[in-house]
């Protein structure tokens, strides 16, 4: 059935999905590199929260790059029986591992913030804790994907459960089980954990604001935090908005729900955009709401009589002039 769907896929749909994925992946790779550059260029903004964001960004870059290079293979194939070549298997290994790492890093950010804000404990103070928080989001995904590779389940799924990239082969036994183990189960667990922690953080801040009758500041909660770190409490939302479309397609496929072709194609387009775009959205999110990043991209300029100066000056001087 999946192969028949592949053979019936129109050339226009193949071109459009490849084009969307290519553009989304390229933008995400460039945005991820910009986040890494900003982390290096603004040392005053560095803390463990930003370090975890950098780790998440590296994983998202690999996902976007894997999806990007997959479009060349997908578009270049003839409209005939798809095959499981080494290129497809390698791409599936890269994107499956990086996607799993992205789920783990998103969860790690939420857990770290909960400990620092609510429990007032910096779990990254100990070197052993730092090593564990760095190794676990890498080791577990590599182990899971390595097992899948050993069983020979990575490969061409003829776009039944993904966009124009390889994931789990369509001709293997227990395909649904492998898709859960190599992605969807961990993705759902990430949503549950991060949303629960988000609600707990919101309740904690509401209680603090009510008791003190003033705005709660994250920097007062623990010295390891900055006030601008509050933007990271909704980092899970960007993961959800980016990847929910592929998850919904997976649910429709699992429940054997037949969608109208236009609706099916719309979900496929949204998945092609979302699955490769998380680093891009994190870039916009990071630069828009982080004051240090905004100052790096758009330095404050002094307002004087007769117009604006073309010389960048320190923010304190601008404030005094006003």
C-alpha to C-alpha distance for 25 and 158, rounded to whole angstroms:
20
Residue 316 lies in a domain: no
C-alpha to C-alpha distance for 2 and 172, rounded to whole angstroms:
12
Residue 235 lies in a domain: yes
Token pair for 166: 């390889």
Instruction: Name the pLDDT band for 322 (thresholds 50, 70, 90).
Output: very low
CATH number, position 130:
1.20.1070.10
- Enclosing H/E stretch for 291: helix 291-297
Residue 321 lies in a domain: no
C-alpha to C-alpha distance for 252 and 267, rounded to whole angstroms:
11
pLDDT tens per residue, range 61-88? 999 999 999 888 877 665 545 567 788 8
User: What integer is the mean pLDDT of 271-276?
Assistant: 91
Residue 160 lies in a domain: yes
Residue 309 lies in a domain: no
Of 15-24, 153-162, 175-184, 296-305, give the lowest mean pLDDT range: 296-305
- Enclosing H/E stretch for 99: helix 86-117
pLDDT tens per residue, range 214-232? 666 666 666 667 666 777 7
Residue 304 lies in a domain: no
Q: How many domains does the chain have?
A: 1
Burial of 321 (0-12, 13-18, 19+ CB in 10 A): exposed
C-alpha to C-alpha distance for 242 and 106, rounded to whole angstroms:
13
Residue 238 lies in a domain: yes
Residue 317 lies in a domain: no
- Find the domain containing 20 and state its range: 2-289
């Amino acid at each position: 059935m999946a192969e028949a769907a592949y053979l019936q896929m129109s050339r226009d749909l193949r071109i459009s999905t490849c084009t969307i994925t290519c553009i989304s992946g390229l933008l995400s790779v460039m945005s991820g590199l910009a986040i890494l550059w900003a982390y290096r260029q603004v040392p005053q903004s560095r803390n463990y929260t930003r370090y975890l964001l950098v780790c998440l960004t590296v994983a998202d870059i690999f996902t976007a790059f894997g999806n990007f290079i997959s479009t060349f293979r997908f578009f270049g194939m003839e409209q005939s029986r798809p095959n499981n070549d080494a290129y497809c298997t390698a791409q599936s290994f890269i994107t499956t591992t990086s996607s799993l790492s992205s789920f783990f890093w998103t969860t790690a950010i939420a857990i770290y913030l909960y400990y620092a804000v609510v429990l007032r404990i910096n779990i990254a103070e100990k070197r052993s804790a730092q090593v564990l928080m760095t190794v676990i989001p890498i080791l577990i995904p590599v182990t899971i994907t390595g097992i899948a590779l050993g069983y020979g389940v990575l490969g061409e799924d003829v776009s039944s459960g993904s966009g124009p990239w390889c994931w789990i082969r369509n001709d293997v036994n227990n395909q649904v089980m492998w898709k859960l183990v190599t992605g969807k189960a961990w993705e759902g667990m990430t949503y549950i954990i991060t949303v629960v922690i988000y609600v707990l953080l919101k309740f904690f801040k509401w209680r603090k604001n009510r008791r003190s009758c003033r705005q709660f500041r994250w920097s007062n909660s623990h010295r390891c935090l900055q006030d601008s770190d509050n933007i990271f409490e909704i980092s899970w939302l960007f993961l959800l908005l980016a990847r929910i479309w592929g998850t919904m397609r997976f649910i429709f496929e699992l429940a054997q729900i037949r969608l109208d072709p236009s609706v099916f194609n719309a979900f496929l387009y949204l998945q092609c955009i979302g699955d490769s775009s998380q680093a891009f959205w994190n870039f916009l999110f990071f630069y828009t709401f982080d004051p240090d990043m905004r100052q790096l991209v758009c330095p404050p300029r002094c307002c004087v009589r007769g117009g604006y100066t073309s010389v960048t000056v320190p923010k304190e001087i601008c404030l005094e002039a006003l």
